[in-house]
Amino acid sequence: MMDSVDVSKRALGVNFTSDGVAQVVVWAPLLNGVALSVTGGQTLLPMDRQDYGYWTLTTDQLKPGDLYQFYLNGEIERPDPASLAQPMGVHGPSQAVDLTSFPWTDKDWSNLPLNEYVLYELHTGTFTPEGNFAAIEEKLDYLKSLGVNAIEIMPVAQFPGSRNWGYDGVYPFAVQNSYGGALGLKHLVDTCHRKEMAVVLDVVYNHMGPEGNYFRDFGPYFTSKYNTPWGEAINFDDAYCDGVRRYFVENALMWFRDFHIDALRLDAVHAIKDLSPTHILREIKLRVDQLIAQTGRQHYLIAELDLNDTRFINPLSEQGYGMDAQWIDEFHHALRVTATGEQSGYYSDFTGIAHLAKAYRDAYVYDGQYSPHRNKMFGIPAENKPGQQFVVFSQNHDQVGNRMLGERTSQLVSFEMQKLMAGAVLVSPYLPMLFMGEEWSEPHPFQYFVSHTDPELAEAVRRGRKAEFAYFHLEGEAPDPMADDTFQLSKLQWDLLEQEPHRTMWRYYQAFIALRKGHPVLSHLSRNDLDVTTNEARKTLVLHRWHAGRHVMCLMNFSPEPQTVTVSDQAEQWHKLLDSADPEWNGPAAAPETISANERITLQPESLVIFQND
């Protein structure tokens, strides 16, 4: 069936022709009868069975804005699995939407080269007091002034209620109604492009949320071949998998084609179970490449991956899955252990500054060594992979929200260490990503929150959350994920931007991002043109990067005491570019403006200073 897919238009669910006729397609291979139920059953239209389990109908009795469901086997009514809108929530009827009617103004927009991305991860519900797409638009000028050029939006697929991280979505094609729906998201993307900002959307293809999940009523969307943290795996390689694979390929194409999204961040692809000759990620990449060739618009696929396996980011020509980039948690873990000394849970695999140096050098910390946490050899080398294939960060929604109390870095380390950790990310030869609010040292936590309407499910989530933290040997009570207070406490406090020391932290981030984007060495993401040395006893790290005869020395001191390091002899004289310990950034003392080759320099506690050659 995939060979017949037309990448130029949406084929599943309800779509409208130019003269307003509805074309309806649903996959239900095991059912004996399917009918379209319009406006609460007042109109019941039988559908025709086609090959491979598809049912179709062409009708003028369904208009944009109408509510509808599918009547299955003459017994039950269910929302459309490919619904574009759920105005009454996950249990209510679907709403017909004409995706082609939006007045786009971004025909002159060209996606940024991936190596230029400076990412900013945000959660729509907590980024602003209003918690919707329109409110994000009001903050775009702020983000531009910070230096961000790509916003990464956590999942927006329809979920139960109005509070959720987004990973409990059960309608992958429907944009959350409380955020502003499809129209609101399109307007946000159009506005971003007008302001020359790219939009990355987080999508979840490894599981479906539990509440409102009616997929089994339509067909074998799941398989018992594999166990996952969420139960049965999505059926990508078992009997009847063709319809499921098409469903997710069509989803990826829709975001790019119909919503003008610039890149997708694919959640936890290591949890996708697929032993097909063509892995589902590779198939998605093949179809996206077809779309790119057809439209001339560039799109990227960025995977969250916990396998240290380059097969995912190898090009199609090398039999890889063709992902353009991947998140790399190991850089975060090494940086976190270096900064805090914390080694509980999955941090137990990381020694600190030696592993941070390896992350700078090799991307993967574990590329074939024995992993004590996993009790096995783990990973392969990421050889010949450019820096733009790896996304790094000092915090993200997972690393903050997976903590029992959801503490951000601002609550775990000093002001000076926060500046150092931010700098460690921004001087890397990888794609940097900020997590909303870190740029002003937001003290509010980002806690795990949901708004399930099923009482038993809500209680199960509470129990699961408590059990999860037993693994980290933590004491105390986890916040109630169902409580509105948990959600409200996770919202950013924008008024802090006008207060100290938050304003100074923001200026520091702004200056550092500008340096990163404008400097010919720091903006050149070569993993070959660098060297890194460490002193584990003193907790110092020197990152030396170069390009086209220009050299930059990034000197870092993770120790609470002043430490001395020797600068390189690559140049006779070095001039200071940025100093986190400068009083301008509320630091204790500034380093010299110039230093000579082989000169010893004293680094302030928990600080970073950058020098360049003449």
Catalytic site includes residue 304: yes
For residues 555 and 485, state if they share a domain. Answer: no
- Report the CATH number at residue 381: 3.20.20.80
Confidence of residue 76 (pLDDT cuts 50, 70, 90): very high
For the chain, percent of residues with pLDDT exceeding 70: 98
Residue 185 falls in which region: left (phi positive, over 0), alpha (psi -120 to 50) or beta: alpha
Residue with the larger pLDDT of the pair 227 and 139: 139
Q: Any known ligand binding at 141?
A: no
135-144, 342-351, 418-427, 575-584: the lowest-pLDDT one: 342-351
Q: Any known ligand binding at 268?
A: yes
For residues 344 and 436, state if they share a domain. Answer: yes
80-84, 361-365, 453-457, 519-523: the lowest-pLDDT one: 453-457
For residues 33 and 135, state if they share a domain. Answer: no
Q: Any known ligand binding at 427?
A: no
The pair of three-digit structure tokens given for residue 329, joined into one six-digit string: 């948690």
- pLDDT number for residue 41: 67
- pLDDT number for residue 470: 63
Span 253-257, average pLDDT = 98
Residue 293 falls within a domain, yes or no? no
Give the model confidence (pLDDT) of 398-410 as tens digits.
999 989 999 999 9
For residues 422 and 351, state if they share a domain. Answer: yes
Q: Which domain does 549 fall in, by range?
A: 529-613
For residues 144 and 84, state if they share a domain. Answer: no
Q: Give the helix, strand, coil percentages of the chain, each rounded to 5.
A: 30, 25, 45
DSSP string, 445-489: --------S-HHHHHHHHHHHHHHHHTTT--SPPP-TT-HHHHHH
Residue 6 falls within a domain, yes or no? yes
- pLDDT number for residue 461: 81
For residues 87 and 196, state if they share a domain. Answer: no
Residue 217 falls within a domain, yes or no? no
For residues 58 and 173, state if they share a domain. Answer: no
For residues 505 and 597, state if they share a domain. Answer: no
Residue 318 falls within a domain, yes or no? yes
Q: Any known ligand binding at 265?
A: yes
Span 373-391, average pLDDT = 96
Distance between CA atoms of 281 and 294, rounded to whole angstroms? Answer: 20
Residue ending a domain, among 100, 127, 161, is: 100
Q: Any known ligand binding at 200?
A: no
Residue 519 falls within a domain, yes or no? no
For residues 563 and 498, state if they share a domain. Answer: no
Q: Which is catalytic among the residues 168, 190, 238, 267?
A: 267
R_g of the chain computed on alpha carbons: 25
- pLDDT number for residue 336: 97
Span 441-466, average pLDDT = 88
Q: Assess contact for 136 and 124: CB atoms under 8 A.
A: yes
Catalytic site includes residue 342: no
Residue 179 falls within a domain, yes or no? yes
Span 586-608, average pLDDT = 95
- pLDDT number for residue 2: 46
Residue 362 falls within a domain, yes or no? yes
- pLDDT number for residue 40: 67
For residues 544 and 500, state if they share a domain. Answer: no
Span 201-215, average pLDDT = 96
According to DSSP, the β-strands at 369-371 and 594-596 are unpaired
**In this model, does residue 475 exceed pLDDT 70?**
no
- pLDDT number for residue 474: 60
- pLDDT number for residue 413: 97
Q: Any known ligand binding at 96?
A: no
Residue with the larger pLDDT of the pair 469 and 222: 222
Span 345-352, average pLDDT = 90
Q: Any known ligand binding at 449?
A: no
- pLDDT number for residue 121: 98
**In this model, does residue 515 exceed pLDDT 80?**
yes
pTM summary value? 0.97
Q: Any known ligand binding at 397?
A: yes
Give the model confidence (pLDDT) of 520-550 as tens digits.
999 999 999 999 999 999 999 999 999 999 9
Q: What is the rounded average pLDDT for all residues in the chain?
A: 95
- Report the CATH number at residue 566: 2.60.40.1180
Q: Which is catalytic among the residues 304, 324, 349, 442?
A: 304
- pLDDT number for residue 333: 96
For residues 51 and 189, state if they share a domain. Answer: no
Closest CA to 72 of 235, 188, 271, 215: 215
Closest CA to 311 of 323, 322, 320, 302: 320
Span 88-111, average pLDDT = 96
Q: Any known ligand binding at 332?
A: yes
- pLDDT number for residue 591: 96
Residue 141 falls within a domain, yes or no? yes
Span 71-89, average pLDDT = 97
From residue 531, alpha-carbon distances to 3, 203, 361, 447, 595 in Å are: 48, 36, 7, 38, 20
Q: Any known ligand binding at 336?
A: no
- pLDDT number for residue 476: 73
- pLDDT number for residue 343: 87
For residues 398 and 445, state if they share a domain. Answer: yes
Span 100-120, average pLDDT = 97
Q: What total number of domains does the chain contain?
A: 3
